[in-house]
Amino acid sequence: MNQYLLGYVTGRIPVKEEDAKKLTHICVAFGKLRMDGSILSEHPIDSQIAQIRAWNPSIRILLSLVNNEGENNAFTTVCADPELRRAFAASCVKLVTAGGYDGIDIDWEYPCVPSNNQDVSPGDRDNFTQTLRVIRQAFDALEGERRLLTLAAGADVYYPTCVDLPEVAKILDFINLMTYDLKCGFHALAGHHTQLYSSTGDVFQNSCDQALRLFVASGVPKEKLLMGAAFYSRKWENIKDRNHGFLQISKCGGGYGPGWADLKAECLNKNGFTYYWDDEAKAPFLFDGSTFLSFDDPRSLREKCAYVRREAYAGIFFWEYGCDPSGELLDVVYHAMREEV
């Protein structure tokens, strides 16, 4: 089974040749959906697309779409209106025929979920399915290589109630399951944000393994599911020096911590931080007596890749390329996905 290695690229740094040759897919973050179904798509990576394809002719490059700023209900509005759905599909066709992209990745966070600063509707669930069908039909009418339609999905129990996964899975080429931020700004409990398995004593029993199994049970074939890895950290501050900060309560949720390069340079057994490994979760963390940092590192990434290969999922992806400018973590994942398990 050929498995995918996909990276989200924001354009903070250019894509390097050696990295382009390791990736099977790139999701360019982000294009922006507007209320009229049009897409704002200018991105720093656009000028590099031809070069990336020359380095790796087999790579597939998608534009990942979010709501346009100030129009936080663009997906809800567009998906609810048949005419706007068609306009959206026409915009997607234009991107893959004239814009140099191989497909579209939908990063709607999230249908039916108002707690993520979105103006949403209970109708999002069915309207989203209908919209994806319209886009798929428009793509299938095009000549040449199949255009890709993918989804970045939330990795917890709410998501299958908000999205019709059995129907959506028939339409999509694959789903990027965001198995990171499993603890985030919504959680005052300091803990792993991208753990492979849950730890005993954690009242939030979510993990990469649990999320993947949930989606399979909800009707998504394994061959259409990619596990997410984090090239950045989450941090909780001003917590008690108990249990090395793990599963301790913070007055605030988990904010964004440093990306891998900065974390390694400034925090990895430096500046008062001590490294710990949770062998049950297969996840590392750092603690300095009051600040807790959760992240992926080479050891946890090897565990994730071995799991993906052993369980025959579609592959692995990461957020995001700019957090790993040396290419260290990408190289770990690339080689781990090619090892025997």
For residue range 159-188, list pLDDT tens digits in order: 999 999 999 999 999 999 999 999 987 788
Question: Hey, which CATH number is domain 4-230+296-336, 3.30.710.10, 1.10.10.10, 3.20.20.80, 3.40.50.720?
Answer: 3.20.20.80
pLDDT at 341 (0 to 100): 52
Give yes or no for residue 75 having a pLDDT over 90: yes
121 burial level (CB within 10 Å; 0-12, 13-18, 19+): middle
Between 203 and 298, whose confidence is greater? 298
Lowest average pLDDT, out of 20-24, 226-230, 335-339, goes to 335-339
Beta strands in 224-282 (DSSP E): 225-230, 232-236, 255-259, 274-278
The pLDDT > 70 percentage for the chain reads 99
- Domain boundaries in the chain? 4-230+296-336
Q: Who wins on pLDDT, 105 or 72?
A: 105
Q: What does the pLDDT look like over 262-312, one tens digit per residue?
A: 999 999 999 999 999 999 999 999 999 999 999 999 999 999 999 999 999
| Cβ pair 141, 103 in contact under 8 A | no
Kindly state the average pLDDT of the residues 236-250: 96
Q: Examine the pLDDT at 132 and tell me if it is beyond 90.
A: yes
Average pLDDT on 226-255 reads 95
Residues 212-229, mean pLDDT to the nearest whole number: 98
- CA-nearest of 327, 319, 332, 324 to 6 is 319
Handedness of CA 273, 236, 203, 304 (dihedral sign): negative
What's the number of CA atoms in the CB half-sphere (13 Å) around residue 32? 12
SS3 92: helix
Supply the pLDDT for residue 253.
Answer: 86
Mean pLDDT for 45-62 is 97
Q: Which residues contact 206 (CB under 8 A, 6 or more apart)?
A: 155, 156, 157, 182, 198
Mean pLDDT value across residues 152-160: 96
Summary mean pLDDT of the chain: 96
pLDDT at residue 188, as a whole number: 87
pLDDT at position 340 over 80: no
pLDDT of residue 116: 81
